[in-house]
Amino acid sequence: MSRDTPADRKESNIQPDGGTEAAHEDIDYLDREVNLLRPSTPFMRDHLKIIWSSFVLWALVVFGPVTMTAIAPEMMTVQTPLFGFPLHYFLVSLGAPTGALILAVVYTRYRDRLDQKYGIEPDSVENAAPEGSEATAADGGVEQ
């Protein structure tokens, strides 16, 4: 049984995770299968890392206080000195929505970095309409 060395992988464009290396411009994403368990492009693999880590953090932020209240009610039902509410109420009513908003900002920053890494420009989608085709007004209005 032969093993691939990094030099062999470089020559054959095989990455250690089993994917193949290709320039972003060479990949036709519309013809690629979208599979959450086996992403077919490097961009999809990197994007899924961001999505899954964001999902895990979101689940901890949203369901963590509720779960802790069920596990340790004596700790979570103490009155907070600042507002006088029980700790679990404060965490669920203020912590979860604030945490979700912070996670949304963090996700957009990581996604912007990912787009820059792969050379995806925000204007490239808007300007991708073929010559002579009629543009669609996405807000329901009429294009001026």
d(CA 105, CA 57): 13
Mean local confidence (pLDDT), 3-20 = 47
Of the two residues 62 and 1, the one the predictor is more confident about is: 62
pLDDT at 109: 95
Measure the CA angle with vertex 108, ends 117 and 40; round to 5°.
50
d(CA 67, CA 71): 6
pLDDT at 11: 45
Of the two residues 12 and 126, the one the predictor is more confident about is: 126
Beta carbons within 8 Å of 107's beta carbon, 6+ residues apart: 50, 54
Identify the DSSP state of 130.
P
Q: Is the pLDDT of residue 9 over 50?
A: no
Mean pLDDT of the chain: 76
Local structure of 20: helix, strand or coil: strand
Cβ contact 74:21 at 8 Å = no
Cβ contact 24:118 at 8 Å = yes
Q: What are the structure tokens assigned to 66, written together? A: 């509720």
Residue 41's pLDDT band, with cuts at 50, 70 and 90, is confident
Q: Is the pLDDT of residue 107 over 90?
A: yes
Q: Is the pLDDT of residue 102 over 90?
A: yes
d(CA 59, CA 96): 10
d(CA 60, CA 53): 11
